[in-house]
Structure 1
Amino acid sequence: MTLAPTLYDFQIALSHVDRAIDQPQLSFKVARHPSETMQRVWLRVLAYCWLWEERLAFGKGLGEPDEPELECRDYTGLVTSWVRVGKADPVKIQRAVDQNPHAKVSVLFESPQRLEAFLTEAREAKALRVAKAELAAIDADLLRTLSGFDSRRIKLSLTLVGDHAYVECDGQSFDGPLTRASL
């Protein structure tokens, strides 16, 4: 018997200053796979907010390892955004770039150290087309702090300014940088 995923209800007031996005009531549900950590759930939520656009949707997650965690399709069904989080494989990211030529391929890592390790792996594997993907890492301390919020209903305010995230959750304020890199 397989265990069912746990649903988390997020209500986020999102402000992405550089992209002129102001969503005072962004509501969505995230299914947490039984083997998934809360830290990875938060990483998916942060990626969703960082790259938010209409029609952006959560993928099948851990159940389908070759599928993106988030994707966006236009009205014709063409993939316009393809997003992976966590420990990405450079060869698979290069394949995503190749298979989705009209899509913006992005990866959000759980720490700047993991981002640097990915870049090293990509160079060693000669996965040079990874350079077409947008690569970023969230501050590990911010992610660790947010993963402590494990309630089934989570309400927060998230503001992204430049490469910095400001979060207010349960009356507490946190912030951390977003580190970007390219091959």
Structure 2
Amino acid sequence: MALRATIYKAEIHVADNDRAYYGSHAVTVARHPSETDERLMVRLLAYALLVDGDEGLGFTRGLSETDEPDLWRLDLTGAIRQWIEVGLPDDRRILKACGRAQEVIVFAYGRGLEVWWAGVRGKVARAGNLKVYALPAEATRALAALAERGMTMNVNVTDRTAWVSSARGDVGVDVELLAGES
């Protein structure tokens, strides 16, 4: 019998001083059986860092569907405005996404981040619609400890640092821009 996705519900309160955006959002996310709490929380953080008053940002089927990103922003015609990946995608996936979307954003994290970036940097340099952000491994591991099936997250962003708090604790995540314009 195949394992089923676990449903997580989050109330995310965003105070993003860098973008002057303030809002609350109720989201439901399916966690694939092979997905870690760390990856789930990075997806939720990516949502909080990109959400705005514009409709269209949403979670996809993620790991269940190889032709979809982790999040995307669609316009009213269904065209992909933003393709958002979390983790360490390979250069072919990034370049394919750059051809399908107006903008591609990668939130890279994990133990092999520096090695991954050294390997893909030159290959994706020609992509003019790509932004790559690095999240420190210690911070994303600490984010994993905040995961709950029903949670309230407060995300305050100032000077490219996201301060995430919940009933389980607080974590500061420095969001470093590796490629693309800010």
Q: What's the TM-score once normalised by structure 1's chain length?
A: 0.88
Separation (CA, whole Å) in 2 of partners of 1:173 and 1:28: 20
What does residue 172 of structure 2 align with?
Answer: 175
Q: Is the 8 A contact 1:122 1:130 kept in 2?
A: no
Per-residue CA deviations over 1:131-155 (Å, capped at 9, x if unaligned) read 5311002222221112012321111
1:111, CA displacement in angstroms?
Answer: 4.4
Q: What's the TM-score once normalised by structure 2's chain length?
A: 0.89
1:97, CA displacement in angstroms?
Answer: 0.7
User: Helix, strand or coil for the counterpart of 2:73?
Assistant: strand
CA RMSD in angstroms comes to: 1.9
Separation (CA, whole Å) in 2 of partners of 1:161 and 1:42: 19
Between the two proteins, the alignment pairs up a number of residues equal to 178
What does residue 162 of structure 1 align with?
Answer: 159
Q: Find the partner of 1:133 among 126, 130, 134.
A: 130
> Structure 1 residues 139, 179: closer, same or farther in 2, change over 3 A?
same
Q: Aligned partner of 2:63: which letter?
A: L
What does residue 93 of structure 1 align with?
Answer: 94
1:117, CA displacement in angstroms?
Answer: 2.6
The percent identity for this pair of structures is: 30
Q: Aligned partner of 1:117: which letter?
A: V
Q: Which runs of 4+ in 1 moved over 2 A?
A: 116-119, 126-132, 171-174
1:21 counterpart = 2:21: yes
Q: Find the partner of 1:121 among 114, 119, 122.
A: 119
Separation (CA, whole Å) in 2 of partners of 1:11 and 1:62: 23
Q: Is the 8 A contact 2:133 2:176 kept in 1?
A: yes
Unaligned runs of 5+ in 2: none
Q: Aligned partner of 1:83: which letter?
A: I
Unaligned runs of 5+ in 1: none
User: Helix, strand or coil for the counterpart of 2:152?
Assistant: strand
Q: Aligned partner of 1:90: which letter?
A: D
Range moving further from structure 2, 46-55 or 35-44: 46-55
> Structure 1 residues 171, 5: closer, same or farther in 2, change over 3 A?
closer
